[in-house]
Amino acid sequence: MSDQIKIKVADLIGSPLCISAEDGQKVFDKVEQLVKIGKQVTISFENVTMLISLFLNVAIGQLYGSFSEDSIRTQLKVEGLSSDDMELLKRVVDNAKKYYSNKKSYDDAWLEEDNNEE
């Protein structure tokens, strides 16, 4: 098996719509497996017509729970995304980094608030 592997998302999930968490999980499982054994992975979004944050959180954001930022940076590439979808992915990645580095404080800050039952 080559060290360079391309995952065509639309082919893998069998749809041009990257919208559901289930399909995102399918992509995550594949990428996680390949990164774990040291492969260079390119995720291709060619032929994808709809992409939302919910899908990307699961497919890519979740990788930050399994791997270091360094491994992801050196082993992962994306292609086939328009510039606004690249921005969307950047938001997802930044959010994921924050989530895994700082998970508890998200909740604690809120718990300090006083609330009343209606």
Partner 1 sequence: MKLNLGTIRSNCSGFNAIADVAVKTKDVWFDSIELDLSSCSFFEANMAAPLYAVISRLRDDLNDVSISNLPSGVSTILRKNKFLSVFNQPELTDTNQTTLPFKILKLTAGDQFNDYLDTYMRGRGIPTMSEALTKRFRQSLFEIFLNATIHSQSKAGIFVCGQFYPNKHRLDFTIADAGVGIRENVRQYTKMPKLNSCKAIEWAMAEGNTTKTGNQPGGLGLKLIKDFIQINGGKIQVVSRFGYYEFSANGEFVRKMDNDFPGTCVNIEINTEDTSSYCLKAELKSEDIF
Tell me which of 10, 96, 104, 112 binds partner 1, using CB under 8 A: 96
Fill in the amino acid letter for 61. Answer: G
Site string for partner 1, 2-31 (x = CB under 8 A): -------------x-x-xxx----------
The H-assigned helical ranges of the chain are 9-13, 21-36, 53-59, 69-75, 83-101, 103-111
Question: Six-digit token pair at 112?
Answer: 């300090």
By CB under 8 A, the residues from 41 to 60 that bind partner 1 are 50-54, 57-58
Determine the Cα–Cα distance for residues 82 and 72; give it in Å rounded to an integer.
21
- Min dist. Cβ of residue 50 to partner 1 (A): 6
Q: Cβ of 31: how many Cβ atoms within 10 Å?
A: 26
- Provide the binding-site residues for partner 1, judged by CB under 8 A: 15, 17, 19-21, 50-54, 57-58, 61-62, 64-65, 69, 72-73, 76-79, 83-84, 86-93, 95-96, 98-100, 106-107, 110-111, 113, 115-118
